[in-house]
Amino acid sequence: MLKLKNVAKFYYNKGLITSGFSKINLEFKIGEFVAITGASGSGKSTLLNVLSGLDSYEEGEMYINGEETSHYTEKDFEEYRRKYVSNIFQNFNLVNSYTVYQNIELVLLLNGYNKKEVKDKIIELLKKVDMYKFKNTKVSKLSGGQKQRVAIARALAKETPIIIADEPTGSLDSNSASKIIQLLSYLAKDKLVIIVTHNFEQVEKYVTRKIIMNDGKVLEDVTLTKVNNSKKDIVCNDFKTISNINKIRLGIRNAFNIKTKFLLILAVFLFLIFAISSEYSFNKNDEYLESIDGYNYYFDSNPKRIIAKKENKTEFNELDYQNINNIIGVNNIIKHDTLLDVAFSFGDKNDEYYLYGHVRDVVNIKAEDLSYGRMPSSKNEIVISGNKDYNYFLSDHPEKLLNMEILTRNDYQEINTGEAFKIVGIILEESSNYDFLNYMGNFTFYGNDEFLEYFSAKTIDTYSTIKQIINNKDYNYLIRFSNLVPKGEAYIDETFSDICKDDNCKNEDMQLNINNIYYSSTLNLKITNTYNNTSIKKLLNIDNYEMVGNYIYINDEEYFNLFKDKNYQISIIVNDDTDLYRVNNELNNLGLDTLVIKDTFYSTGTKEIMGLFKDFLMIGLLIALFFITHFIIKLILKSRNTYYAILRILGSSRKVSKHLLTIELLTVSSLSYLIFLGIIMLTQYGVLKLNLTTMIKYLGLKEYIIIYLITTLMSYLISLRYARKLFKDSTMNTIREEV
């Protein structure tokens, strides 16, 4: 049974207390068809809301099967409504964006029915209320009478022991009203049916009991027909909980059912995703600019360069190069790695020009880059480049250098007697795009592989230890080369004669031992000549003995054979700085020891402080974006307050309603993310002309995943925050008040 004992309901509004009804004592049982009538404002609808658990009461006690309910929480009343009560409202409380069929289906899905098994039941109910032909029509397009019949069908679908109806025939014509009242009368044989009506004559011959209310009190309670029912308790159906698949189905349906709402929320999430992505990529770009805003005293400061050697210190072979080139992100391999970090001095034969700079591979330039001349075609032909505004020799008549032959200088800046290199092409660099580091080197000298091997050997020489064994003793004299020394022979300063037998070194055997961190090599020679201040010109074509004496001279070809074709260290240049550390890890996996040049840059130490500051800014931005997004979505979702109140009326718990809200927002946020990815992809392939270069450059798979997780988390938190506000009050207060 359902019983009220001295129950009172009050409303609080801006400090004022008004009474809905007071001191109500009523008892209802199964089989009764009760009509409550009275003037407007007499408390009839308020009484129905309390009886159906949609509204709270402040005094007295309401009993359900003898159990007190004054201690009930909103969750308890949700369970009561789900199991015991079906409502028919004067203002319908239908979901206007759903079809007629979907409105009936909704209550069944919420109460654990399977989507497939409810079809026949829904069709039967729609036929019973004469609404079958409108089953696929949206409720918003129906008349008031048609909406009322849908509301009645929905109430009947739930099959609860109590049906509470507020003016169920108010919008119906007399014929339709009569049919509905007859139907309710029929249902009342094994249910409790309570209706509010202004037209008692319409229901008089069907109801078993009449209650008249006035000014919040019961004036009259008359039994018109005695009900013979032995049931004392109200027996409810044991409904199941909505399945997860139906939650997902309803959540996705809710995401798209109102186009304007969907598009607005979609736009908000797109803004959120692009804001997060932009801030992240701009931070990454700033980090990159800071990372290359440094310098290194020892290495060529290319921030995309990785120096590599094999862990076992053996030479690189073609298979090694192939494996490295197979790594995604590798741009090219520089085999003559040591040339990147050293500079060389050159001069003409008359010693009028002094040229200083770096040696590079000619493949790095094209014929159209040349300001004068042509591309080289042999080992001894080179192209030089320099800045015309900062270089003395290029600022005025640079063509004078064309076809000039230059030679390398030795440690004392004397012209060597080695090979000459002919300048066949000149590149004049503009100040606006000139590399400051190359400016410091003054020139860049471009040549072919043989040219590079020549200078690579000279570089390896400087990193090697060369010792001589003469007369079974070790010596450490400096070695120089000349094409005037025959192969297999060596010329030494006659001041070294005391190391030989009888102070005569001619025809003495000499062994050169070369050692460096990678390999050792040996060359057997015979000392065939000694030189002094007067004979050095004849033997070696050197004028100044004081500057170049005290050396051992050997054949230049044999000298370079000691060092060339020995490739133990290389540099790998990556396509983009975002590939740098991934490529470095893959090189390590190939068994290579590596050094990332960018990690060697010297800085002032402010990077760490700025990094922390930017991290705090990023966190602050995320928090600000969350509250901005929450505020806008809350405004958009205000139109959904009634929908979620209807869910609770139909028996949905707060938990289920929160899940549906969360699924709705996650669906839209995920779709926004897919659109974001589509925009990025179309921009990357040039279909869309958008300025997203920085974003495309710095967003990789990891970043895309992180951005999606952040967006998903924000969607979830927004749904929780909104739901907490939405479900904090009773169902009727939620409908009456704005959240």
CA distance 38 to 20: 14
> What pLDDT was estimated at residue 291?
61
Residues of the chain with pLDDT > 70, as a percent, come to 91
Alpha helix stretches (DSSP H) within 595-689: 606-637, 641-649, 654-684
Asked if residues 348 and 406 have their Cβ atoms less than 8 Å apart, the reply is: yes
> What pLDDT was estimated at residue 433?
47
CA distance 416 to 45: 111
CA distance 435 to 333: 21
> What pLDDT was estimated at residue 113?
86
Look over the chain and give the mean of its residue pLDDT values, rounded to a whole number. 85
The backbone region for 516, taken as left when phi is positive above 0, alpha when psi lies in -120 to 50, beta otherwise, is beta
Please give the average per-residue pLDDT across 148-163, as a whole number. 89
Please give the average per-residue pLDDT across 656-662, as a whole number. 90
CA distance 508 to 526: 6
Structure tokens at 261: 């709402």
pLDDT tens for each residue of 190-242? 889 999 998 898 899 999 999 999 999 999 999 998 887 656 667 676 667 88
The DSSP element (H or E) to which 514 belongs, if any, is strand 509-515
Class of domain 2-240 as given by CATH: alpha beta
Q: Is there a common fold for 2-240 and 303-335+567-598?
A: no
Q: Is the pLDDT of residue 43 over 80?
A: yes
What is the fold, at CATH topology level, of the domain defined by 303-335+567-598?
Alpha-Beta Plaits (3.30.70)
**Domain limits of the chain?**
2-240, 246-287+607-736, 303-335+567-598, 338-459, 464-561
Q: Which of 722, 726, 712 is nearest to 666 (CA)?
A: 712
pLDDT tens for each residue of 404-421? 999 887 655 556 656 789
Work out the pLDDT band at 427, boundaries 50, 70, 90.
Answer: very high
Q: Is the pLDDT of residue 296 over 80?
A: no
Please give the average per-residue pLDDT across 534-547, as a whole number. 82
Please give the average per-residue pLDDT across 295-315, as a whole number. 80
Structure tokens at 498: 């005391």
CA distance 111 to 246: 10
> What pLDDT was estimated at residue 704?
93
Structure tokens at 529: 């000549």
* Burial class of residue 585, CB neighbours in 10 A (0-12, 13-18, 19+): exposed
pLDDT tens for each residue of 126-155? 998 889 999 999 999 998 888 988 998 999
Q: At what angle do helices 701-726 and 654-684 cross, to 10 degrees?
A: 150
> What pLDDT was estimated at residue 207?
93
Q: DSSP assignment of 269-307, as one string? A: HHHHHHHHHHHHHHHHHHHHHHHTS-B-SSS---TTEEE
Structure tokens at 432: 């606006």
Q: Which residues pair with 112 in a beta bridge?
A: none
Please give the average per-residue pLDDT across 360-380, as a whole number. 91
> What pLDDT was estimated at residue 133?
94
Whole-model pTM above 0.85? Answer: no
Q: Which of 392, 186, 193, 438 is nearest to 300 (CA)?
A: 438
Work out the pLDDT band at 610, boundaries 50, 70, 90.
Answer: low
